[in-house]
Chains A and B, each alone.
Chain A
């Protein structure tokens, strides 16, 4: 009896030690998240509730900043513009990235795949700002496209390709095709080729086996790519600022407006929290598909 109690207490101690060790191992990660993610969010939330007074001090708690934000149609329009632009960028990037990733994963010999991937990520090597200005050199009225159109006598007057929402979308898509291609490729190469062979053995055509097997199994790669695109695209200020010509405002531009003259950090915090909330909603919507282990 006493021996059994000893064994039990030894096991309990070992289990406790195991739990403590597990906790100790996760502590740095938890501390990191608390310090650099949770704490800033809490600070932003508190700031957003303390409107800026004319003398630069913070007023007492109120919802004034949120009332001002949602009471101004132009600011609410910025949320809508950001969501629509991001959705369009995600859809176009996925549509263009998928065949690209598929070809690298299945059609290019394995020994060439690394080189193909290196080419795929080339745009990541240049600065984001430089890349946006490079697009301006292509799209501007004095840019490469208009120059070519004039040289070929296809147009007398320059066609307005830059300084609009289309140019912003193009700048974004150029960047995010590569990101999505990487996540989709990483997913595709993990799919067991025997599943496709089994489908074809059962009489499915190549296209049918793609639709029934490969495509559903590559959804996690697309979901991760889509989520990363949403996170990076919806919060970006540089591309719409350089290529968009302010034909419409996106939310990050409205946030910057609060800072550029008045340094209204509380109002900017309120707007940034709304932006964070949108990203959180997207995360929750994609949560079931966001399986990093598949990458």
Chain B
């Protein structure tokens, strides 16, 4: 190595070190300036709009890191690959509250911290949010698994009868949402059974009715497939659908609609919980409080991912949004709808096997 190249080498080394040092200090300064804290949220896609998260981030000088999940099972898979304390807040299907408490995943919450007075009694039902009198999840959004349809092709009045979907005139025009819990429950309602009382003895009749429904349907599919089928006109009716399918597309296709039949429907309900292993429980609780506040509830209800009814009846929504969400019909809808089944692991396996039998039937 020559003298010049050695000098150049030394200069380059100093320059690199200096740049590295200044880079590190700049990074630490900027991260301190931007956010003093981080909050890690396992969430469904409807909590990811910047318009929803930014006000909380700015007010609390915190950065919200979220990971997208689409079910409780997906959340459990992420937790299985994480260290305790990695996650602070969980968005959960409230029917799974008991299961997660049994797994010691959720931290107890104080009901006084949340606006339960503004949440309809059926939505605030302790059976979905509490275990042994202790609150673990706070309801934030709900909707229905009932029947969605294209009213340009189907008479909306006819859809008010839950048994219409078995009518041969709709053969090949029906899609069924592939989530066995609400669909089995919906068929049980059609059979006049009370979902909360379902047991193994009810399953043969439900299976027979489901097989008949499948024979009348063009397809069974996941969220994307059935939504696409309804939107493109491949089918006219979606069993298991609801406002979560139609409301977001209302502007582009106002003919897509849903109804809760007079016999009843199924109600999905999601809630927020704080992880028992969170190192940031106070901030996590504050985030839950923010999400159930009227302003955030309006944004959550009209999320770019999917729409749904806000749990807080004081949610800030304009008249057009309320119309699309059928705001005025909600008291009646809530009364005739049943929440998801809360069941033992063994009964869940029975339902899953029943669903597989139905799908394998010719």
Residues of A228-280 contacting chain B, CB below 8 A = 241-242, 245-249, 254, 257-263
Q: Which residues of B contact A73 (CB under 8 A)?
A: 357, 360
- In the complex, which residue of chain B has the Cβ closest to the Cβ of A164? B219
A75 within 8 A of B: yes
- A98 vs B251: C-alpha distance when bound (angstroms): 51
B233 within 8 A of A: yes
Q: Which residues of B contact A54 (CB under 8 A)?
A: 102, 344-346
* Interface SS of chain A: loop
Instruction: Verify A245–B220 contact, CB threshold 8 A.
Output: yes
A135 within 8 A of B: no
Q: Which residues of B contact A143 (CB under 8 A)?
A: 234
A163 within 8 A of B: yes
- A254 vs B344: C-alpha distance when bound (angstroms): 20
Instruction: Verify A245–B218 contact, CB threshold 8 A.
Output: yes
A6 within 8 A of B: no
Instruction: Verify B356–A257 contact, CB threshold 8 A.
Output: yes
Contact of B360 among A77, A260, A261 (CB under 8 A): A77
Q: How many A-B residue pairs have CB under 8 A?
A: 92
Instruction: Verify A263–B77 contact, CB threshold 8 A.
Output: yes
* Interface SS of chain B: helix
Q: Which residues of B contact A262 (CB under 8 A)?
A: 73, 345, 348-349, 352
Instruction: Verify B219–A263 contact, CB threshold 8 A.
Output: no
A74 within 8 A of B: yes
Instruction: Verify A261–B359 contact, CB threshold 8 A.
Output: no
- A263 vs B81: C-alpha distance when bound (angstroms): 13
Instruction: Verify B102–A55 contact, CB threshold 8 A.
Output: yes
- Return the CB mask of B101-125 against A: 1 if under 8 Å, else 0: 0110000000000000000000000
A160 within 8 A of B: yes
Given the known inter-chain contacts A141-B234, A163-B218, please indicate yes or no for A254 contacting B356, CB distance below 8 A: yes
A142 within 8 A of B: yes
- A257 vs B345: C-alpha distance when bound (angstroms): 14
How many interface residues does chain A have, given as a range? Answer: 35 or more
B24 within 8 A of A: no
Contact of A74 among B228, B348, B357 (CB under 8 A): B357
- Return the CB mask of B336-358 against A: 1 if under 8 Å, else 0: 00000000111011001101110
Contact of B356 among A55, A56, A142, A249 (CB under 8 A): A249
A186 within 8 A of B: no
Q: Which residues of A contact B359 (CB under 8 A)?
A: 74, 246-249
Whole-angstrom distance between the Cβ of A130 and the nearest chain B Cβ: 13
Whole-angstrom distance between the Cβ of B154 and the nearest chain A Cβ: 15
Given the known inter-chain contacts A246-B220, A246-B221, A248-B359, please indicate yes or no for A142 contacting B232, CB distance below 8 A: yes
Q: Which residues of A contact B219 (CB under 8 A)?
A: 162-163, 245-247
- In the complex, which residue of chain B has the Cβ closest to the Cβ of A253? B359
Given the known inter-chain contacts A74-B359, A74-B360, please indicate yes or no for A263 contacting B73, CB distance below 8 A: yes
A72 within 8 A of B: yes
Whole-angstrom distance between the Cβ of B114 and the nearest chain A Cβ: 27
B156 within 8 A of A: no
- A134 vs B348: C-alpha distance when bound (angstroms): 35
- A248 vs B222: C-alpha distance when bound (angstroms): 14
5 tightest Cβ-Cβ pairs between the two chains A and B: A245-B219, A163-B219, A246-B220, A74-B356, A263-B73
List chain A positions with a Cβ less than 8 A from chain B: 52, 54-56, 68, 72-75, 77-78, 81, 136, 140-143, 160, 162-163, 241-242, 245-249, 254, 257-263
- 17 additional A-B pairs beyond A56-B103, A142-B234, A257-B352, beta carbons within 8 Å, are A55-B102, A56-B76, A74-B356, A75-B356, A141-B218, A141-B234, A142-B232, A241-B222, A242-B225, A245-B221, A246-B220, A246-B221, A249-B356, A249-B360, A257-B356, A258-B352, A263-B73
17 CB < 8 A contacts A-B: A56-B99, A56-B103, A73-B360, A74-B357, A140-B229, A143-B234, A245-B218, A246-B219, A249-B356, A249-B359, A261-B73, A261-B181, A261-B348, A261-B352, A262-B345, A263-B73, A263-B76
